[in-house]
Amino acid sequence: MIRTVILVCFLLQLLTRAFVHSQDRNGRQVWPVPYRRFDRRPEADSYCQALYPFCPTGDPDGRIPYVRDSDIISVFRLQTPVWEFKYGDLLGKFHIMHDAIGFSSTETGKNYTMEWYELFQLGNCTFPHERSDKDAPFWCNQGAACFFEGIDDMHWKQNGTLEKVGEISGEQFNEMARWVQEDNETGIYYETWTVRSDPGPNSTVWFESYDCSQFVHRTYRKLVELGAKLSSKTQTNYTKIYLYSGEPSYLGDDNAIFGQPSMKTLATDIKKFYHSFRPHQSVIEIILSLLEAYEKVVLEKSFYLYYNFEYWYLPMKPPYVQITYEEVPLP
Decide: is 130 part of the binding site for ligand NAG (CB under 6 A): no
**Residue 98 falls in the annotated catalytic set:** yes
What would the DSSP string read from start to end of 132-189?
A: TT-SS-B---BEEEEEEE---HHHHHTTSEEEEEEEEEHHHHHHHHHHHHHHHHH--B
CB of 266 to ligand NAG, least distance (A): 25
User: How many other CB atoms are found less than 10 A from the CB of residue 313?
Assistant: 17
CB of 73 to ligand NAG, least distance (A): 11
| One of 120, 206, 215, 304 touching ligand NAG (CB under 6 A) | 120
x/- binding map, residues 1-40, to ligand NAG, per CB under 6 A? ----------------------------------------
Rounded-to-integer distance, Cα 329 and Cα 240, Å: 14
Nearer to ligand NAG, 62 or 246 (CB): 62
Distant-in-sequence, close-in-space partners of 103: CB < 8 Å, separation ≥ 6: 73, 74, 75, 76, 111, 112, 114, 173
Distant-in-sequence, close-in-space partners of 311: CB < 8 Å, separation ≥ 6: 251, 252, 253, 257, 270, 304, 305
Decide: is 165 part of the binding site for ligand NAG (CB under 6 A): no
Catalytic residue, candidates 48, 98, 146, 155: 98
Going by DSSP bridges, is the β-strand pair 302-307/310-327 parallel, antiparallel, or unpaired? antiparallel
| One of 10, 19, 83, 87 touching ligand NAG (CB under 6 A) | 87
Q: Which residues here bind ligand NAG, judged by CB under 6 A?
A: 41, 47-51, 54-55, 58, 62, 64, 76, 86-87, 102, 104, 111, 120-121, 124, 129, 140, 144-147, 151, 153, 158-159, 162, 180-181, 184, 200-202, 235, 237, 279, 281, 325-327
